[in-house]
Amino acid sequence: MAHEEKITVKIKKDGSGNMSFDCNGFIGEGCDVIKDIENALGMVTYSENKEEAHLYENPDPVFNELAM
């Protein structure tokens, strides 16, 4: 099942440079990708995992069939 990953970035207009990220659709280890981006942009002052961070997607099975 395909799913969509979406990041919404909000930047405060007050000149402070503060930003917030709202990530939807990232499952399990996919959540770590945004952490790398946040750290590259500057100091992270607050982070909260959503329920999606604790889910894991099973890859599509690959069947081993022998042709005769």
* 26-67 per-position pLDDT tens digit: 777 777 777 888 888 888 888 777 777 666 666 666 777 776
Number of domains in the chain: 1
Q: Which residue has the higher pLDDT, 16 or 33?
A: 16
Choose among 14, 11, 57: nearest CA to 22.
Answer: 11
The residue segments making up the domain with residue 14 are 6-54
Does 20 map to a domain?
Answer: yes
Does 64 map to a domain?
Answer: no
Does 59 map to a domain?
Answer: no
What pTM does this model have?
0.56
What is the pLDDT at residue 14?
A: 92
Give the tokens for residue 38. Answer: 């946040």
Does 60 map to a domain?
Answer: no
Q: Which residue has the higher pLDDT, 47 or 16?
A: 16
Q: How big is the chain by its Cα radius of gyration, in Å?
A: 18
**Does residue 4 register a pLDDT over 70?**
yes
